Structure 1
């Protein structure tokens, strides 16, 4: 798979994010994800990642969107998905953070709208909305369940069909909703997840 040309604003964002240091502790947390992707690639298998949190509204959406864009940027064919233990809606603050990062976004109306997220002229927009992790459009087998919050990790001890279960656990920016820190904290979480996905895919041979 050839590398995908991202929008210029996103390429600039990725270059900025490379300056964020991934701690030794987080590198250990990310190691199983790197190993899963590398093993699937080496064996010629389809790489499938399903990012899972409780509501599929913030962290798992960040995970899916950033991992898809970054894996394409590095030319590593990966299919990224997301889901929750329950269905709610893709949070507007998370959508806004991705928009500020350089993604082009169009959102329909409704309680749980389809959100079109695009990162390249060469790729179709991702259709993102809140859904349960075993929704019909998500893989039912041969995927890694990437648990992005401790609540989902603790309450879903078994994810049917998953080849591997990888706990990353990111702090929830939801606690800063409707505060003066909303924008800062959502950008912070988006940036952290993006920088860690850069680290992951830079370490795939």
Structure 2
């Protein structure tokens, strides 16, 4: 794992007390689901699959690898597709990831967390896109809009809700980078808690 990213994770591990008890209850429910599966598959879902669901996909994959749970497969999707937002991409770079952008309207970013491992492929898509599993997965709703507007997720055997505040609210303001970094850090912290409880 890249040294900068490893340092970031060490700091996140030390901050577990920042997670509220109510959040921990929801995260442990997902951990219980994972524990019962031979090959757990998680799809993180928000409206546009541009920010929070990507943070969750990336950090859940990295934290699963970090604690030795490489059987877990993580994905993301939206109720509609746009693109992995460049502000969110910038935030993961600041956290220590290396990112390749092939260009295009909806780029398939290659997100590296370790020089010896395959990158995560991150791009915006609907949750039912062929790139994602079509059955036997947990649907994890990361925003309240997607949770309310998508009451049924075809193929999901379990559904969980762990909504996050949308960092989009700060777009175009002086607080933009700080807000995205806070969102990235919160999700990293909670995904570490989740995977360390499996």
User: TM-score, normalization: structure 2?
Assistant: 0.96
Q: Which runs of 5+ in 2 are unaligned?
A: none
| 1:61-72 matched pairs, under 5 angstroms | 61-72=54-65
| Residue 50 of structure 2 corresponds to residue 53 of structure 1 | no
> Following the alignment from structure 1 to structure 2, what is the Cα–Cα distance between the partners of residues 124 and 28?
32
Q: Report the number of matched residues.
A: 195
Structure 1 segments (4+ residues) deviating >3 Å: none
For residues 57-108 of structure 1, the C-alpha deviation after alignment (integer angstroms, 9 at most, x for no partner) is 0000000000011101111121000000001000000000000001000112
Q: Give distance in 2, aligned partners of 1:171 and 1:185.
A: 10
CA contact (8 A) 2:28 2:197 kept: no
Please give the per-residue CA displacement for 1:22-66, whole angstroms capped at 9, x wherever unaligned: 1112112212211111111xxxx2110000000000000000000
- The equivalent of 1:86 in structure 2 is 80
Secondary structure of the corresponding residue to residue 191 of structure 1: helix
Alignment RMSD (CA, Å): 0.8
In structure 1, distance between residues paired with 2:36 and 2:139: 15
The answer to whether residue 23 in structure 2 is matched with residue 30 in structure 1 is: no
Report what 2:166 is aligned to.
172
Task: Determine whether 1:117 maps to 2:114.
Answer: no
Deviations 1:152-178 (A, max 9, x none): 000110111111001000000001001
Alignment-derived partner of residue 5 in structure 2: 10
Which residues of structure 1 form unaligned runs of 5+? 1-5
Deviation at 1:12, TM superposition (A): 0.5
Cα drift, residue 113 of structure 1: 1.0
User: Which shows bigger deviation, 55-64 or 11-20?
Assistant: 11-20
Q: Normalized against structure 1, the TM-score is what?
A: 0.93
On the 8 A contact 2:110/2:122 being kept in 1, the answer is yes
Q: Give the C-alpha shift of residue 19 in structure 1.
A: 2.5
Distance 1:175 1:137 in 2: 29
